[in-house]
Amino acid sequence: MPRRGRPLWLAAAVALPLLSACTQGDFGEVRPSLVRDDIHDWMGAAAAPPGGPVAVSRFEYTDDERQLRDLGYPLIEPPYDRKRWDSVLGEYGLRGYARDNRVPPDAYAAHLLAEPHRSPTARYQKLIEDIRNDITRIPAFFQVATRVTDIDAKRRRALDFTRPSAEERAGALLRIRENANVIAWVEVSLNDRLAGYRYALERLVTMTPSPMAVEVEQLLRALRAAIDARGVGGAPAARVHYFPVSK
């Protein structure tokens, strides 16, 4: 299982053969030939809160647990890193994404303004596209997150009467914590992204005012509503349960 702080030689050994091929498939997604089922398994360790333990379970992932990571990844990857020629590195956890490496609010605007565009309209269009993509992705992720947290709650209660071995009990509790950390990471990321999008809009309105700002503002409200509808507005989602591993 990948860990934060992996040796640079290991990252290079994995990256070089991948970058020797064309990484982008249709619609800017990573080519299927470069994707494996557990491509996002590194997210469990990377989702540990600052100062928290990074140990993860060795149990095989359920279909929902794997999907949780696959659907969560686009919501923690900065929008400006998506569709890059080397974006496959991020998919494999080689770009340093971690819950304690939060993106500053001005980072999105800095990238948006630095990119060459023929007109300011293109920047508004890019902002609109990124916000819409997040709004579209949110429901599927939290549907899976709800299923995962529900089954983890049942798993936690089952430990009291199934008589697991000490190793099995530890593995189950680690997986419960790992899943909750991944969900919490996405929650934090969504709020950070919203702040970044709003900051970018403020910069655009100041520098190149446009009627398109009204559409962006409407989408920002829709994104805020999508986040709040799933309990992400400053508090853990209502159905996410957190369990200490020591019990």
| Interval 155-192: pLDDT, tens | 999 999 899 999 999 999 999 999 999 999 999 999 99
User: What is the percent of the chain where pLDDT is above 90?
Assistant: 66
Residue 78 scores a pLDDT above 70: yes
User: What is the percent of the chain where pLDDT is above 70?
Assistant: 79
Residue at 2 is within a domain:
no
Cβ–Cβ under 8 Å, residues 184 and 244: no
Kindly write down the DSSP assignment for every residue of 201-229, as one continuous string: HHHHHHHS--THHHHHHHHHHHHHHHHHT
- Compute the mean pLDDT over every residue in the chain, rounded to the nearest whole number: 84
Q: How many domains does the chain have?
A: 1
pTM of the model: 0.81
Domain extent for 190: 8-228
Task: Specify the pLDDT at position 29.
Answer: 52
Residue at 243 is within a domain:
no
* Cα distances (Å, whole numbers) of residue 176 to 48, 72, 150, 167, 247: 12, 16, 11, 14, 12
* Number of residues assigned to the chain: 247
Residue at 177 is within a domain:
yes
Please provide residue 78's backbone torsions phi and psi, each rounded to the nearest 5 degrees. Answer: -55, 135
Residue 31 scores a pLDDT above 70: no
Residue 60 scores a pLDDT above 50: yes
Task: Specify the pLDDT at position 152.
Answer: 97
Residue at 103 is within a domain:
yes
Cβ within 8 Å of residue 155, ≥6 positions away: 172, 175, 176
Residue at 246 is within a domain:
no
Any idea which of 22-31, 33-42, 61-70, 225-234 has the lowest mean pLDDT?
Answer: 22-31
Task: Specify the pLDDT at position 2.
Answer: 41
Question: What's the rounded Cα separation, in Å, for the pair 240 and 150?
Answer: 8
Residue 15 scores a pLDDT above 70: no
* pLDDT, tens only, 126-142: 999 999 999 999 999 99
Nearest in space to 169 (alpha carbons), one of 180, 181, 179, 157: 157
Residue 198 scores a pLDDT above 90: yes
Vertex 112: Cα angle to 110 and 115 (nearest 5): 105
Please compute the mean of the pLDDT values over residues 51-76 and round it to a whole number. Answer: 94
Residue 203 scores a pLDDT above 70: yes
End-to-end CA distance of the chain: 24
Question: What's the rounded Cα separation, in Å, for the pair 173 and 203?
Answer: 45
Residue at 39 is within a domain:
yes
Please provide residue 30's backbone torsions phi and psi, each rounded to the nearest 5 degrees. Answer: -70, 140
Residue 118 pLDDT class (50, 70, 90 cuts): confident
Residue at 247 is within a domain:
no
